[in-house]
Structure 1
C-alpha cells in the first residue's frame, strides 16, 4: 500500500500481501499486454475461480488469525448505515466472480489518508476514502481492488502470514512504548546507561509533557502505515477490479478519480515523512551526545525514540512493493480503452453516493468520528479546551457508546487530570472489538492507574482474543501483576517472556516489572541500536 524511504513514497496503493498461481509480470511489458480479452477470462484466473475454497476458509482458522492482525493497528468506525451500503457494493461486485464466493466482511478504519487494505476475508477502507470520494463508481473501484486480492487468494501464502505476524509485533512495540513513554528514566553510569522505570506518581506528574508525543505517534501509525502487496498482485487486482466493476454495471472510469486521489496523497505522506525525519535527527543528536543528561527529559527522549522506531519498522516492511500510482493509472486507461470503451458512458452514480454517504444518519455518525479524530489533533497541539469541545460532540447521539469516540474523550479527561472521569468514559463503551491495540492498552493503563485491576484484566483478555500472537501483550500482563504485587503470577509471566527467546520482549517485560536493565553506552551513541535497531542509520535512509 505504500512506498517509502529510498523508494517512491506512496501511502495507499490498496492491498494486503503475497503471491498467486497467476503468472508473474514479465519485465518490459505491462500486465494487460500479456493477454487478450478481459483479465477475468484468462486461464490462470479461471483456474483460481474454479478451485474450491480451502479447509481453513470453512473452519475460520485463518479468519480468526487475520481478524486480529492488520485491523489491530486501526480504530474501527461503527457506522451500520455506511457498512450496509458498502456491503451492497461488495455483493454487486461479487456477482461477476465465476467461482465460489467467499464470505467477506467490510470495515471502515479511522485513517485520514485515502487508503484501503484486505485480509483473507476482510476489506477495510479508510474514513479518508469515505469522505473524499464523490461517486459510487469511485469507491466501488477501491472496494473492487481489495476484493480482487481476496478472490485471487493473494492473502493465503506463508509470506502473507509472516508479514502480518511481523506487523502485529511492531504495532505491539509501538503501542507499549507509546503508552509507557512516561514511565522510564535513564541515568549515566561510567560506561553504561541504567534504564529503570519510574513509579506511577512520577509518571503521573510528567503525563502532560509526554501525552502529546504518544498521541502523535499513534496518529502517525494510523495515517501512514498500511499493508503492502507485491507488484504483480497489485497489477492483477487492478485489472480484475475493472472487470468486476463493468460486470456490476459501473462506469470503469471510477478507477481514474481513485488513482488521482492516491497520487495527491503521496504529497501528504512525503510531508509526514519529512517531519518524521526532522524528529529523528533531533532524537539521534540527543542520543549521540557524549554528555548524556540524567534528568527525566532524556528518559522521555529514549522512550520517544523507541516508539518512533516501531513506526519506522512498519514503514520499512511496507516499502518498495508498489509502482507509481501514475504508472498504474496509465496502464488501466489503456486496458479500459481496449476492453471496455463502450462502458465509459455509464453513470458514475454520484447522486446515489451523496444520498447514502453525505446525508442522513450515516453522515451524523461520520461527523462524530471526525470530531473525535480532531479532538486528538487538538490534544497534540495542546489546545485542551478545543479538544474537550470536540470530544463532547463526538459522543452525542448515535455514537454515545462507541469505542473510539469514548477513548478519545477519556484521553481528554486524563489530560485534564480527571482520571475518574477518564475511566467513566471507558465504562460506557459497549463494544471493544473495534479498538486498535494502542487504544486498548491506553484503556488498560487507565484502569490500572485507578487500581481497577479486574477492568484492566477484562480489556486485556478482549484484546488478547483478537491477537494472533499473544506474546505481544506479555509486558502488559507483567505490569498488571507487578502493580497488584501478585508475585506468583508475576513470575509466571516473566517466565513466559523469557521462554519466547526474544531479547527485546524480555527487556520490555523486565521494564514492566521495574527490573533495572543495563544498556551498553555505545548503544545510545548509535541510536540505541541493540534495543531499538540503529535509528541513526534509518535517518540517512529517509
Structure 2
C-alpha cells in the first residue's frame, strides 16, 4: 500500500517524534523512583558501631539455603510436551536444584577477575604493600576473619575497583599510578573491604545470577516448547529441560515474593561510611577519602563527555524509518520505531541501574557524615613515602613502563597510526613482561589491525604463558584458529578455557558451533538451554549459534539485530 506524499511526511514526523520523545520522560520517571534516603540519616552515631561484632560469615550460604527451602516447597508444575503430564515432582525438583547449585558458588574471585581482558598484575612488592594496608584497616573491624585477597588489575580506569563474593578485591593499576598518597589508596581499599565485611557483593552477585535464571526461564519457555515438538516428551534431554524449567520457575517465584531485594545504592553508601570509619580508626588521614571521591568525580565527568555509543544506531534507525516509510513499508517502519523506543528506554534503565549515586552526591554525603561524627578529629599527616618507595622499585617501574607502552600501542592502533603502534607494542614486550597477558594482547591487537593474522595468533599463544591469562586470550585464539580453518586447534583452545574458567557464558556460542560442526545437534541444543540461564544477552547469541549460524557473526551484531 502506497501512501500519498503528505501522509508519508506526516507519518515520518510522527515516527521520528516517537523516537525522540520517550527518552526524557523515561529518564525523569526513573529519576523520581530512585531511592532518595541518605543512609547516614537512618541511624545515630557512627556506622561502624551499628555492626554486630563476631566472625565473618558469607551471607550467600544462608541465602542459598533459604532459596532451596522455598523452591522445594513450590507447588507449581510445568507441562512439557503435548500430553499435559506434570513434570514437577519433588524428585525432579530436588535433582534440578542440585544440578543448578554449582552455578552460584564455585566460581572463585580470581577466576572472575580473569574474565577481564586486561588481566592481573603480579608484582610481589605491590601485593605485599597492599596486603599491609588491608591488615591495618581490618585490625579495627568488629567483624573478624574476612578472607580478604587483593589483586591489581591492568585496568586504566581509576575507579574500577571491585569486591567479589569470596573476599577477592581488585584494585586497578590506574589507581596505583594516580594516587597521591597511601591515605588515598587506603580509602579505596577501606571502601571495598567494607563491601566484603557487610556481605554486599555476596548478595548482589546472587541476585544477579538469580536475575539471569529468571530471564533464562522466560527465554526458555518458547525454546522448550519448540524442542518438545521436535523430540517428543519421552526423550531424556526433554526431561532434563523440564527439570531446568522447574528451577527457573522457583527462582521467578522467589523474585516475585521479594526474597532477595537489592538496595545496591544503599550498599554503596554503607561502604562509604564504614570505609571512612575504618580509615580514621586505622590512623589514616581522612582527606584520603575526600581525595578519592574527588578523583572519582573527575573520572565520571570524563566518562560523561564521551560520545554517545548509540548515536550511529539512532541515526541509522532514523534513515531506515524514512526509507521504509517512503516505500510504503509501514510494517518495517513501525518495527524500527519499536526498536528505537526500546533503545531509549534501555538507555534510561542502564542509567537507573547504576549501583551508586554520583561521586558528587557521595562526596557531599561523606562530608556531612564527617562533620557530624568527626568534626573534632585531628588528622595525622598524609602518608606518601611508602607509596613512592613502591612505585620507585625496579619491578614496579619495569611493569609500569610496559603497561604504558601497551596502552599507547592500543591507542595509536585505534587512531590508525600502525607504524607508531607497532613500535610501542615492541617496546612493551621487550622487557621482563614480554609474555604478560596485557602486553601480548596489545601487540595482538596491533598485528590484527595490520592484517597479520599469523603474527597476531603468535602473540596470543605467548600470552598463554601468563599464569593469570584472561579469558579474552582464549576466546580470540579460538576465533583466529576457527577462521583459519584449524578447527581441531580451535576446539582444543576452547576445551582448555571451558574447564579452566568453569563453563563461562561467553564460551557457549563457539562451543555450540563446534558441536553442530561435528553433527552433535542434541548436545548443541542442550548447551543452548544451559546458556539461557547464564546470561540474558549471551542467550540471544546462543540461540543463533544453535540455529547453525556463525557465532562470531551473531556476537558482532548489535543488540537491535539480535532482538529480531
Residue matched to 2:152: 108
Q: Shift in Å at residue 406 of structure 1?
A: 0.9
Structure 1 gap segments, 5+ residues each: 9-24, 171-227, 293-301, 519-523, 534-542
1:46 aligns with 2:85: no
Cα shift readout 1:300-334 (whole Å, capped 9, x = no counterpart): xx9xx9xxx9xx78982873442232222122223
1:487 aligns with 2:519: yes
Which whole-Å CA distance do the structure 2 matches of 1:491 and 1:270 have between them? 46
Aligned match for 2:118, one of 52, 61, 75: 75
Tell me if structure 2 keeps the 8 A contact 1:69–1:466.
no
1:281 aligns with 2:314: yes
CA distance 1:114–1:500, change in 2 (3 Å)? closer
Q: Shift in Å at residue 96 of structure 1?
A: 1.4
Tell me if structure 2 keeps the 8 A contact 1:67–1:466.
no
Aligned match for 1:90, one of 103, 128, 134: 134
Q: Shift in Å at residue 128 of structure 1?
A: 2.5
Aligned match for 2:323, one of 266, 290, 294: 290
What SS does the aligned partner of 1:123 have?
strand
Aligned match for 2:540, one of 493, 504, 511: 504
Q: Shift in Å at residue 151 of structure 1?
A: 0.6
Q: Shift in Å at residue 152 of structure 1?
A: 0.6
Residue matched to 1:415: 449
Q: Shift in Å at residue 387 of structure 1?
A: 1.4
Cα shift readout 1:58-109 (whole Å, capped 9, x = no counterpart): x997362554446524422323132332222122212111223222222223
**How do 1:9-408 and structure 2 match up within 5 A?**
30-42=38-50, 45-46=51-52, 49-50=54-55, 52-53=57-58, 62=105, 64=107, 66-69=109-112, 72-80=115-123, 81-115=125-159, 116-120=161-165, 121-157=167-203, 159-163=204-208, 230-272=264-306, 274-285=307-318, 287-288=320-321, 290=323, 316=350, 319-341=353-375, 343-357=377-391, 359-408=393-442
Q: Shift in Å at residue 478 of structure 1?
A: 3.2
Name whichever of 469-478 and 498-507 sits farther off: 498-507
Q: Shift in Å at residue 471 of structure 1?
A: 4.7
CA distance 1:415–1:316, change in 2 (3 Å)? same
Structure 2 gap segments, 5+ residues each: 1-25, 63-100, 216-261, 326-335
Q: Shift in Å at residue 431 of structure 1?
A: 4.6
CA distance 1:152–1:415, change in 2 (3 Å)? same
Which whole-Å CA distance do the structure 2 matches of 1:528 and 1:64 have between them? 27
Q: Shift in Å at residue 154 of structure 1?
A: 0.8
Name whichever of 492-501 and 382-391 sits farther off: 492-501
Which whole-Å CA distance do the structure 2 matches of 1:99 and 1:353 have between them? 28
CA distance 1:276–1:455, change in 2 (3 Å)? same
CA distance 1:498–1:340, change in 2 (3 Å)? closer
What SS does the aligned partner of 2:183 have?
helix
Cα shift readout 1:399-419 (whole Å, capped 9, x = no counterpart): 111112112212222332322
Q: How large is the RMSD of aligned CA atoms in angstroms?
A: 4.1
Larger radius of gyration: 2
CA distance 1:313–1:329, change in 2 (3 Å)? closer
What SS does the aligned partner of 1:125 have?
strand
Which whole-Å CA distance do the structure 2 matches of 1:495 and 1:314 have between them? 34
With a CA cutoff of 8 Å and minimum separation of 6, indicate the structure with the bigger relative contact order.
1
Which whole-Å CA distance do the structure 2 matches of 1:255 and 1:94 have between them? 17
Which whole-Å CA distance do the structure 1 matches of 2:272 and 2:118 have between them? 27
Q: Shift in Å at residue 359 of structure 1?
A: 4.9
Tell me if structure 1 keeps the 8 A contact 2:513–2:546.
no
> TM-score scaled to structure 2, two decimals?
0.65
